[in-house]
Amino acid sequence: MDKIIDGKAVSAKVKDSIRDEIAREGIKPCLAVILVGDDPASAVYVNNKKKACEYCGIESRSFELPENTTTEELLKLIDDLNRDKDVNGILLQLPVPGHIDSEKAIEAIRPEKDVDGFSTQSVGALSIGKDGFVSCTPAGIMELLHHYNVEVSGKNCVVMGRSNIVGKPMAMLLLRENGTVTVTHTKTKDIKSITSKADILVAAVGQPEMIDESYIKKDAVVIDVGIHRIDPETHDGRRLCGDVDTESVKDKASLYTPVPGGVGPMTIAMLMKNTLKAYKDQQGT
């Protein structure tokens, strides 16, 4: 049995389904993407989102703002996009330059256009089980678990990391499907005693290859959210890896996501899915 969870293949199926529905219905959803500054990684992500939009038949509008853009200027653009009835989704590429109030900018995006699922209203809806947009990376992980028929109900689920973008919404999604969920973080004592009992382990710790076989129990499902560029000797940014030491865990786990090609492709696929949902909700279809 192949233990690798193929995010590329699953994301392709999601995007194909979206493309087919858009073509069949003869519709044109529109996603506006805002990039502030010239962060190279962000530029790559934005370009990948543009390509996904083009593939799915979604109109992509790109707003690339200079590094010295003020919070007020960014808020003015967001307000204009909120008012534009032809724009269905608004995405602010993070991180933004340090002088910009990112929280204020995210909250300025109307909930019905918050396709990243980062606003207080979106997170609140998720926490009480109401309909709304779910942060794309956790939503993509759930899609992977469903595709590979991983049962969540009644399972011990451990989420390593408590960020607002991944850790917290991930825990809520697993809880929604009746998983027994534990969240570990930097203040958690004896982490291995917790993670080694997990049937499903989601690693979002932000540390290259920190999670080795000593953190997991036999036949656990291991989801690696991390992405880092390191060099085996100098750590100067030459090799892609995740938070999980894949070579160490691959024989012990029942299923695991690789880096690259695991969770990453799903994030963009779910953004496309959220954009289509935004269009349909706004059209009342």
Catalytic residue check, 93: yes
Q: Which of 49, 168, 273, 277 is catalytic?
A: 49
Does the annotation mark 49 as catalytic?
A: yes
What separation, in Å, do the N-terminal and C-terminal C-alpha atoms of the chain show? 41
- The three-state DSSP-derived secondary structure of 199-266 is CEEEECCCCCCCECHHHCCCCCEEEECCCEEECCCCCCCCEEECCECHHHHCCCCCEECCCCCCHHHH
| Tokens 């790559």, residue located | 44
- Give me the residues paired with residue 159 across strands: 183, 202
Q: Which whole-number Å values give the CA distances from 253 to 45, 61, 85, 160, 213, in the listed order?
A: 30, 42, 48, 17, 8
Q: What's the rounded Cα separation, in Å, for the pair 277 and 70?
A: 31
Residue 176 burial (C-beta neighbours within 10 Å; 0-12, 13-18, 19+): middle
CB of 257 closer than 8 Å to CB of 222 = yes
CB atoms within 10 A of CB 164: 13
Handedness of CA 75, 79, 84, 86 (dihedral sign): positive
CA–CA dist 263, 73 (Å, integer):
33
State the catalytic residue, choosing from 15, 113, 116, 224: 116
The verdict on whether 116 is a catalytic residue reads: yes
- Residues identified as active-site: 49, 93, 116
